[in-house]
Amino acid sequence: MQSSQGAIPMQLSERCSSAQTYWQLIWFLTPTVTLCEQQYETFKKNLPGNGIRMLSGNDNVERWTKQSDWDAILANVRIVLSTHQVLLDALTHAFVSMSRLALLIFDEAHHASQNHPANRIMSNFFLLHIKDEDANLPRILGLSASPLISPIARQVEQNLHAEVRVPKVHRSELMRHVHMPEFIQIHYENGPVNGGTSSPLLAALECALPEYDILQDPYCINLIRQHHEGRDVREALAKVLRSRKTYCSEQLKTLCSKAKAMAEELGLSPMNCSPMLLDGLSQKVEKLLHTLVEEMHGDAEFTGLVFVEQRVWVAALAEIISIHSKTKDLFRVGTFVGTSQFSKRKANIATLPEPRNQQSTLDDFRSGSLNLILATSVLEEGIDISSCHLVICFERPKNLKSFVQRRGRARREKSKYLIFRDNLGTGKSHKDWQSLENEMRAAYVDELRQVELAEELELQREDGERVFRVPGTGALLTLDNACQHLYHFCAILASGPYLDARPQFSFNEDPPGNTIAHVVLPISVDPVVRTAKSTASWRTERMARKDAAFVAYKALHHAGLVNNNLLPARDEPENDAEELQKSKNQPSLVPIRPSFDPWQLNAIPSQSDYQIYRRVLIHLTTPDQEPMNMLLHTPVSCPEIPSFILHWNKVKKYEVHISQIAPSALAPENIQIMREITHVIFYSVYHSRMQESSLDFHWLLLPCNVQDEIEDFSSLSQWKQSVTGSRLASDRLHENHCDISTWGLVEVQGERRRYIPHALVIHSDSDGGVPLHCLKAIRMPRRRNFLYAIDNEQNCNDAHTRIEDLNAEDCVVQNLPASYTIFALLFPSILHKLSTHMLADRLRMTMLNPVQIDDSHINTLVTAITSSAADEKDNYQRLEFLGDCILKFVTSVHLMASNLTWPESYLTGKKSRIVSNGSLTRAALEAGLERFIIFDRFTGARWSPRYGGDVCESPECAEQSWRSSKVVADVVESLIGASYIVGGLSKAALCIQTLLPRVPSRGLLSELLPLALGVQQY
C-alpha cells in the first residue's frame, strides 16, 4: 500500500512531466540510498511511460568528470532520483543547472538545515537567485512526516523558501483512519548480569588497551622509517606520541568501549563463541523476550518492529531471539541496518559489516514471511513498511523526531508503542514527549507566524558568505565546499602510495582572539600558487580553514590547474577538449583501407601502348651455374635495393643483384615482341592462372647480356619462336642436341609431373645395339616463396631435391630453357622485395617528406613498416622499442617546456594520453599510414602475372580489412626509431611532429631541454 507521502510527489510529478519542457527534469531527493531505491521502484511502477533514472554513490558518480558523461546519463530522462549529495556535486561542478530542473522534491525535508547537503543546494543555487527576474528556477516541494519545533520549523521554511502546511480541510476524516497506538513504558533493572561480571574476551580487551605499545603501532613504525630516510616527520611523530591516537589505537579503544556497552545492555552471552550460551543475558534482554512472547499471544497476523541503537546489537538480539527456547518457534526474525556505508570509507572494526539482500528482508516482512524486524534508526523515516501491531524502542528515543517517527510505524488498530526505560527514570517521560508534540502541532497551524518570519528574515546577517562563480559555466565555489575541493585536488597529485598529498594548514592569532589560516599545498604544485592564507580573521579555526582553502582553490583556477567546472584540469586543456573526449583505449581491431600499390603510379597509360619504360637489370648467380640476366621493364621507377639471397633448397642458393639502367623508348612493334616473350616465360610456370588471350602485362621481361646496351628485337623475335612449344627428347637426341643447359622442363609422357633436367647419361648396350639415354632430373619444386631458408627441422619433401633417373625415350622437353623457367619461379620473390622497397620509398617521398630521409636508408624504412606477422627476417619490433623511448622523452620535454606550472601528475597524465596506443592509432589512421604497413606474410602460392587493366583498377573499390590497432600504433613508434637511426634526435623529433601533429611543439629540442630542466631546478 502506497503512503500519502509517496502518493503526493507521484501525482505532482505526473502533472509536471506532461507540462515540462523536453530538456527539463524532475529531481527527487532522499536522505538515504535505501529510501531512494524504494521511491525509484514506486515511480517505475506508477509512471512507466517516463524516463526514470536513479543515481547514487554505488554508480561511481564521482568518476563522471566530464559534461559529456552527464549529458549521456541524463539523455531521454524525465525524472531523476538521488541522494542530496549527488545533486549538490553536479550543481557545484556545473554539470547540471537549476534552470534545467522543473520541479525539485525534498523527501524528509526536515533535514534541510545547517550544513546538510539539502540546505547547501538551496542556499548556494536557489536562494541567491530569487530576486533575479530572469532566473529560471524550479518549483520546490518538501515532504516530511517528522515533527519540527517552532524555531527549527521556521528555519526549514526559510531554507526551502516554502511554508509548512498540515491537512485541515479533511482533518476529521484523516483522524478517523489514523489509529494512535497505546503508549507503554517498560521498566527494567540495571542490575548485575547473570552468569558473572566479565568474559575472557572482554577481560583481554580491557587488559590490552592500557598496555598498548604506541611505538609498535603500524603508523608510528612508518613514521620512524620515514624519519630514518631523511623525511621531516618530526611534528607528526611528536603529535602521535603526545596524543597516543592512531587508527589502530582508536579502533582498539572503540572496540573495548563497544564491548563494555554490549555487556551492560545485552549481557555476556552474546560474547560467547558459537554456540551462544543463554545463561548470561542482561535483565533488559530477558524483559524484551518476555514482552515479545506476551504481546504475541498466539496472534498469527502479528507483526513487530524493534528499534535498536547499535548495528552489532541488532545482530546479537536477532541471534538470541532465533535460538531462545521461548521465542524461536514464535518469531521469524529479520534485520535491517543502514546501507549508506561508502566503499572508500575507512572500516571500523566495531561496526558490523552491512548484510546483503536487505531489500528482501523488507519484501518478506510485507508478504508475511517475516513477522519481526530488528532495525536501527534507518527504518524510522521514509521506508515504506507495513503497519505493525507492536513497535518497541529498546533504547529511549533521542529526540522528538525519533519518538514520533517510530510511533508512526504502529498504525494498526489496537497497536502498541513500547519504550524501555531503566529503573532510575532518566530521560523524558511520555508526558514530556506529548507536550513537545502538542507545541509543534500548534506551531504548524498558526498562520500568524508569517509576520514573525518576515521580521526574522530582515534581521538575519550573512556572516562568512563568499562565493566565486565561473563566468562561462556557472560552476560555484563557496566557503563550505572549498575544503573538499582542495583536498580532492591534492589527492590526485599523489604520485606514490606512501606520499601524504594533503594540504597542510597552520593557524595564527591576528589580532588576539581571532585566527587566520595559512595553507601549504604539496611540493609538486607550482610555487606561485602553492601557498595561500585567509583574507580575513575569524573567531574559529574552522572558518579560517575554509577561507584559506577558498583563496587557494580560486588561485589554482586562475593558474589553469583547475578547469571551468572547478575540477582538477589534469590533462584536459580546453583547446584539446574534443580530442580528449576520445578514450585512450582503442579497439583491438580497426578497419584498414587497402594497402598502397606502388605499381599503380603512372599506370594509367597502360591502356594504350607504352612509349617510355624504366629498366631494371636482374642478375642471378649461383655456384656451378652460368649467371643469368633479365631486363625488367616497368612503367614505374624502382629504387636501388641491396643484394639478397633466394633459397632454392637447403643447400642451393641464388644471389640476386638489382641495378637500374637508363629508360628506353620502345616502338609499338617492339613492345609486342616483349609481351610475347614475357608470356612464354610466365606460361612455363603459371599457365593455369593466366589469361590466354591477354598480353597486356604490367611487367615485361627480356633476356639479355650484361654488355648489351641496345636490344636486338629481330634476334629476340627469332629466339621467341625457337623457345615456344615442346619436343620429344628422342628427337633432340637424334639431332644431337645433347647440351642439357638448353633443355627446358621435362615431362614423362602420360604424367603431369614436371622435372628440371640435370644431366644426360648414355649407357652403351652390351650387345652393341642402340645406346640407352638416361636423363637425370629433379622434380619441379612446389615452393613459391624462396625468400626464407628451409629449416633443418622442417619437414621438407626430399623428392624436390633428389636426382631421379628418367628414360629419355619417354620424355617430352619444353623448348624454353629451364633457366628461364627457374627465373619465372623466383620472380614473385624478387618482385616482393622490389614492392616492399618501392612501398617504403613512396612513404619516404610523401608522408615522411618533411623528415628528409635519404634513399640510401630505404632498407631501414622497410624494416620499420614490416610487422612481425609478415614473418620477414627483420621486423619493426626493435625499432618500435627504440621509438617508444624516444617518443616519451620528446613528448615529456615538450610538455614540460609548454606547461611550466603543471605538477608531475598533470604532465604524466597528458603524456600518457599522447603516447597511448589509442592516440597513435588514431593519428596513423587519419594520416593514412596504415596503407604503407606490411601486415601479411608473403607466400607466392597463388601468384599470377598482373595485367595493365588490373593495375589501373581503383584500390578504393577493394573491401576494407580489420587489423590489429596495436600494430598500427607500433609502426608509428618504429618509424620514430628509424628516423633516430638515420639522423639522430633531431630527425626523430621531426618525425614525431610529422606523424603526431597534436604533440605540443615550441621549438628545437636543444632549446627546449634547458627550459624544461630549468623547471625541475626551480
Tens digits of residue pLDDT in 815-850: 999 999 999 999 999 999 999 999 999 999 999 999
Q: How far apart are CA 257 and CA 856, in angstroms?
A: 82
Residues 804 and 838 in one domain: no
Strand order in the sheet with 52-55: 52-55, 79-83, 25-30, 101-107, 139-143
pLDDT at 585: 62
Least confident of 12-26, 178-192, 402-416, 854-868: 12-26
Has residue 657 been placed in a domain?
no
pLDDT at 460: 38
Confidence of residue 450 (pLDDT cuts 50, 70, 90): very low
- The CATH number covering residue 8 comes to 3.40.50.300
Has residue 215 been placed in a domain?
yes
pLDDT at 352: 57
Instruction: Please say if the pLDDT value at position 444 is more than 60.
Output: no
Q: How far apart are CA 667 and CA 612, in angstroms?
A: 9
652-670 per-position pLDDT tens digit:
899 999 998 888 888 888 8
865-878 per-position pLDDT tens digit:
999 888 788 899 99
Question: Which of residues 959 and 400 earns the better pLDDT score?
Answer: 400
The pTM of the whole model exceeds 0.75: no
Q: Are strands 653-665 and 612-621 parallel, antiparallel or unpaired?
A: antiparallel
Residues 264 and 338 in one domain: yes
Confidence of residue 934 (pLDDT cuts 50, 70, 90): very high
Has residue 933 been placed in a domain?
yes
Three-state DSSP at 304 gives strand
pLDDT at 932: 92
Residues 537 and 393 in one domain: no
518-544 per-position pLDDT tens digit:
999 988 888 889 999 999 888 888 888
* 798 burial level (CB within 10 Å; 0-12, 13-18, 19+): exposed
Residues 422 and 517 in one domain: no
pLDDT at 253: 84
**Comparing C-alpha atoms, which of 923, 992, 869 is closest to residue 590?**
923
Q: How far apart are CA 840 and CA 865, in angstroms?
A: 8
The grid coordinates of residue 662 equal 637508363
Residues 302 and 437 in one domain: yes
- Beta pairing partners, 476: 469
Rounded to a whole number of angstroms, the CA Rg of the chain reads 45
- Beta pairing partners, 184: 418
382-404 per-position pLDDT tens digit:
666 767 889 999 888 887 778 88
The fraction of the chain above a pLDDT of 90, given in percent, is 25
CA 433 vs CA 63, 150, 405: distances in Å:
45, 15, 12
Tell me 581's DSSP state.
T
Question: Which of residues 178 and 722 earns the better pLDDT score?
Answer: 722
pLDDT at 970: 94
Instruction: Please say if the pLDDT value at position 434 is more than 50.
Output: yes
CA 662 vs CA 399, 711, 837: distances in Å:
104, 13, 19
- Residue 752's CB is within 10 A of a number of other CB atoms, namely 6
Q: Which of 96, 117, 146 is the last residue of a domain?
A: 146
SS3 sequence, 861-929?
Answer: HHHHCECHHHCCCCCCHHHHHHHHHHHHHHHHHHHHHHCCCCCHHHHHHHHHHHHCHHHHHHHHHHHCH
Strand order in the sheet with 416-422: 182-188, 416-422, 390-393, 304-307, 372-375, 333-336
Tell me 209's DSSP state.
T
- The mean predicted confidence, pLDDT, of the chain is 81
Has residue 957 been placed in a domain?
yes
The grid coordinates of residue 949 equal 587493366
Backbone angles phi, psi at 804, to 5 degrees: -115, 150
Question: Which of residues 948 and 221 earns the better pLDDT score?
Answer: 221
Full residue range of the structural domain in which residue 236 is found: 184-445
DSSP string over 429-448: -HHHHHHHHHHHHHHHH-TT
Place of cell 532522499: 30
pLDDT at 854: 92
On whether the CB atoms of residues 295 and 416 are closer than 8 A, the answer is: yes
**Domain total in the chain:** 5
- Beta pairing partners, 866: 934
Three-state DSSP at 688 gives helix
- Beta pairing partners, 28: 81, 105
**Axis crossing angle, helix 479-491 with helix 117-125, rounded to the nearest 10:** 110
pLDDT at 575: 45
Residues 429 and 512 in one domain: no
Has residue 718 been placed in a domain?
no
Over residues 433-451, the mean pLDDT reads: 55
Residues 946 and 1012 in one domain: yes
978-1014 per-position pLDDT tens digit:
999 999 888 998 999 899 887 766 555 555 555 555 5
Residues 406 and 519 in one domain: no
Q: Are strands 746-748 and 811-814 parallel, antiparallel or unpaired?
A: antiparallel
* 422 burial level (CB within 10 Å; 0-12, 13-18, 19+): middle
CA 588 vs CA 191, 585, 666, 934: distances in Å:
72, 9, 51, 18
Q: Which of 532, 548, 569 is the last residue of a domain?
A: 569
Residues 6 or more apart in contact with residue 528 via CB below 8 angstroms: 559, 901
Has residue 673 been placed in a domain?
no
Residues 869 and 930 in one domain: yes
Over residues 54-60, the mean pLDDT reads: 87
The fraction of the chain above a pLDDT of 70, given in percent, is 79
pLDDT at 10: 58
Most confident of 155-159, 399-403, 497-501, 610-614: 155-159
Instruction: Please say if the pLDDT value at position 203 is more than 80.
Output: no
Over residues 143-172, the mean pLDDT reads: 73
Ramachandran class of 230: left when φ > 0, alpha when ψ lies in -120 to 50, beta otherwise: left
Most confident of 229-233, 359-363, 555-559: 555-559
Backbone angles phi, psi at 283, to 5 degrees: -65, -30
Residues 295 and 420 in one domain: yes
Most confident of 312-316, 574-578, 651-655: 651-655
- Beta pairing partners, 621: 655
pLDDT at 458: 32
Has residue 374 been placed in a domain?
yes
**Axis crossing angle, helix 904-915 with helix 917-927, rounded to the nearest 10:** 40
pLDDT at 1018: 33
* 46 burial level (CB within 10 Å; 0-12, 13-18, 19+): middle
Residues 302 and 259 in one domain: yes
Alpha carbon 459 to its chain centroid, in Å, reads 53
Over residues 420-428, the mean pLDDT reads: 71
Q: Which of 746, 781, 815 is the last residue of a domain?
A: 815
76-127 per-position pLDDT tens digit:
899 999 999 999 999 999 999 998 999 999 988 888 888 899 999 999 999 8
Instruction: Please say if the pLDDT value at position 323 is more than 50.
Output: yes
Tell me 791's DSSP state.
P
Instruction: Please say if the pLDDT value at position 484 is more than 60.
Output: yes
Has residue 78 been placed in a domain?
yes
612-647 per-position pLDDT tens digit:
888 999 999 998 888 999 999 988 888 889 999 999
Residues 230 and 324 in one domain: yes
- The CATH number covering residue 472 comes to 3.30.160
Instruction: Please say if the pLDDT value at position 191 is more than 80.
Output: no
On whether the CB atoms of residues 39 and 384 are closer than 8 A, the answer is: no
